Structure formats: structure tokens, C-alpha cells
Amino acid sequence: MGSIKKGLDSLSSQVEQTKKEGLEKFEKTGNESDQAKGVLDSLDRNIDEDDTSMIDTAEKDIGKSFLERNEQETKELEDNTNPLLEKVMDTSNEQKERLAENINKLSSIEQITDTGKAHIDEGIENLNNSVNEYSERIDNAETSLEEKDKMIQEERERIEKQWER
């Protein structure tokens, strides 16, 4: 495996590690949100309306703080993963284009011996394998992006639903 492919694999590993850490943060925030909401829901509200109003205000502020924290964690995760994913996809697409151009050039060579033709065919096959590898990297990066976006959306919706009144 060459340096470009190794570099892309390293970037992909970074993305997966960052996504894992982001998911852990989301889970921690979600658990803390669940706990806070549970305490607030357990409060006896058969008290003076001024006191109930104070609890309602505190509940809105606490919910807002969890939503803001979720937004910050989302921004951090996107800032740390999106550029890497874009680089993997862009570099892979550039390599695919270069390989396709080289395959076309090799295919255009004429009037060579059978041995030469066999070497060219083998070279073309190897280049096509590389094209497939880059296509797989692009697919994996797109899947990773979709998974991350889904994870972010689900957690945001869960926290929003939890704190709506």
C-alpha cells in the first residue's frame, strides 16, 4: 500500500476515533439531561404558584443549557470530522481520475508484442483494482458522514423532545 492510500486510511481512522469520542460526549450529555429532567419531573408542584413559576423558569433554563451544550458538541464533532472526510473523498476522487486517465493511455498503446500486451493488461488490471479501492474509500467516507449526521440528529431530537413543554 502506497503513501496516499496509507494517508487516507489514517484520516479515516482519525474520523472513526473522533466519532466515537463524540458519541461518548453525546451519551454523557444525554444521561445528564435525563437525570436533570428526572429530578425536575419528580418535584411536587402542588406548591405556591410563585414557587412553581420559579421551578418552570429553572426548568426552561436547564433545558436550554442542554440544547446549547448539544449544539456545541455537534459543532465540535463536525469541525473535527467533516474536513477529514472531505479530504478523503476529494483525494480519492482525484486519484480515481488520474488512474482512469492512465488506464486510457495504457489501453491506447498499439503494435506491441504479446508479452508487452500481457504486461499492459496486468497493469491495467492493477490500476482498476486501485480505482475500486478508492471508490470503496469514498463510499466508506460517505457512510461515515451519514452515520455521524444521523447520530447528531437523533440526539438533538431526543434532547429537544425531552425539554419541550
What distance in Å separates the CA atoms of residue 140 and residue 146, rounded to the nearest whole number?
10
What distance in Å separates the CA atoms of residue 130 and residue 33, rounded to the nearest whole number?
47
Range of the domain at 100: 3-163
End-to-end CA distance of the chain: 56
Beta carbons within 8 Å of 34's beta carbon, 6+ residues apart:
162
pLDDT at 16: 92
Q: Residue 57: which CATH number?
A: 1.20.58
What distance in Å separates the CA atoms of residue 22 and residue 151, rounded to the nearest whole number?
10
Domain total in the chain: 1
pLDDT at 165: 63
Angle at which helix 49-107 crosses helix 114-163, to 10 degrees, equals 170
**Residue ranges with strand state E in the chain:** none
Mean confidence (pLDDT) of the chain: 93
Whether residue 69 is predicted with pLDDT greater than 90 in this model: the reply is: yes
Residue 44's pLDDT band, with cuts at 50, 70 and 90, is: very high
What distance in Å separates the CA atoms of residue 130 and residue 99, rounded to the nearest whole number?
8
Q: What is the pTM of this model?
A: 0.82
